[in-house]
Amino acid sequence: MQPVLHRKLIAGVRHVLLFFRQSVMIVSVQSGIVLARYCAHDPDLRKRKEEYMKIIDMHCDTLLECYQKKQPLRNGPYQINLEKLKKGGCLAQCFAIFVVSHDTADRCGISLAPYDFYLEMAELYRKEIENNPDLIAPALCAEDIAKNQAKGLMSSILTIEDAVAVDGRIERIDEFFSDGVRMMSLTWNYENCIGYPNSVDPRLHAKGLKSFGIQAVERMNELGMIIDVSHLTEGGFDDAIRLSSKPLIASHSCARALGSHQRNLTDRQLKLLGEKGGIVGINFCAPFLEDHAVLSSIENIVKHMVYIKEKAGIEALAWGSDLDGIDGSILEYEDYAGFPRILEALSMHFKPDELDRINHGNFLRVFRDNAG
């Protein structure tokens, strides 16, 4: 969930880019056209469309959109819905319960305490998945994804953004795991019982995990819940890397060398994450991809992918779109259904086996190493 950019700026940019976006619509009226072009780069890909078009995206804020707009997950007016997932080539989608708090809760009109809000969101998630058994089913481990795929179903993976609802109670991590949560970010943009948020102040950004945060890392490892270090301070990142016995992830971050936002990872962090067997999901938020950008472009997404491969290795790459959480970014590819266009551009820089790792293989490895 990213801050909303100035509305007048957005309106102006939308006007300037109107012709560009209309041209894009003409070029890719149907995703099938793009898929055919993507396959043309390698004859073997034409023989296994269903194999290579298996996207696992590690982060979206669609559940909060569902909660606020009261529209169904199946076909609601979101950047991600179940129909768009199907069209875009989804194998599995991580659905985050973004536990709003502090002034963010006020802006969202939510007065519930973080734990109570988590409970409402978890129930919303259960109902939405239960209402769509023809399209999607929950996955609690990597094997579940394969089982669901064999039935012709996409998989949903429940995650938490911001461990604020833990509130210093280690047993709540167990409760969340029992609810089906398989990934949790240690912080968001506020201090909580586990640690501190990213900061432009180097002194604050160097802060490490709190003593309870160390316990939380240990318990998440024991349970098989993936540790997500997106939004964490660099000092907290270092502690998590050092303490975790299992691969961890930065679910929706980019390379700071290409986009100077403090949420992005330095070359040093990328190297450490790769050495740990962890992965980073490329965030589609425009200013993460390029300083001061408003357009989230396919070109910039590819640039970050290529750069991170150089610094951390191909096994460290994954998707972390942050769709429905990046208000203010104009998407060149429209929404999740435009994923084939991104893959087409990516295929110019990565071999088919590398695309498989990016699209799903790397996440499945980390999921298997953590949750089985």
Q: Which amino acid is it at 136?
A: I
The beta strands (E) that lie in 99-153 are given as: 136-138
Q: Domain count of the chain?
A: 1
Q: Would 239 be classed as within a structural domain?
A: yes
Write out pLDDT tens, residues 97-155. Answer: 999 999 999 999 999 999 999 999 999 999 999 999 999 999 999 999 999 999 999 99
| Residue with more model confidence, 43 or 154 | 154
Q: Across the chain, which distance is largest between two alpha carbons, in Å?
A: 55
What local confidence, expressed as pLDDT, does residue 44 receive? 55
In a domain, 335, yes or no: yes
3-state secondary structure 179-235: CCEEEEECCCCCCCCCCCECCCCHHHHCCCCCHHHHHHHHHHHHHCCEEECCCECHH
pLDDT in tens, 285-336: 999 999 999 999 999 999 999 999 999 999 999 999 999 999 999 999 999 9
How is residue 307 written in tokens? 């750069």
Rounded distance, CA 323 to CA 14, Å?
Answer: 18
Q: Considering the domain boundaries, does residue 1 fall inside one?
A: no
pLDDT band for position 1 (cuts 50, 70, 90): low
Long-range contacts of 255-258 (CB under 8 A, 24+ apart): 255/304, 255/307, 255/308, 255/311, 257/307, 258/289, 258/290, 258/300, 258/303, 258/304, 258/307
Query: Based on the number of CB atoms within 10 Å of its own CB, is 229 exposed (0-12), middle (13-18) or buried (19 or more)?
Result: buried
**Could you identify the residue written with the tokens 């898929």?**
35
Range of the domain at 98: 7-21+53-371
Residue 158 near residue 122, CB atoms below 8 Å: yes
**First and final C-alpha spacing in the chain:** 29
User: Could you tell me if residue 28 is inside a domain?
Assistant: no
CATH code, domain carrying 284: 3.20.20.140
Report whether pLDDT(2) > 70: no
Chain segment 85-101, per-residue pLDDT in tens: 999 999 999 999 999 99
Is the residue at 123 inside a domain? yes
pTM over cut 0.85: yes
Does some domain include residue 241? Answer: yes
Residue 74 within a domain: yes
> Is 80 exceeded by the pLDDT of residue 340?
yes
Q: Residue 279: what are its φ and ψ, rounded to 5°?
A: -140, 155
- Per-residue model confidence (pLDDT) at position 36: 45
Q: Supply the pLDDT for residue 35.
A: 44
- 48 occurs within a structural domain: no
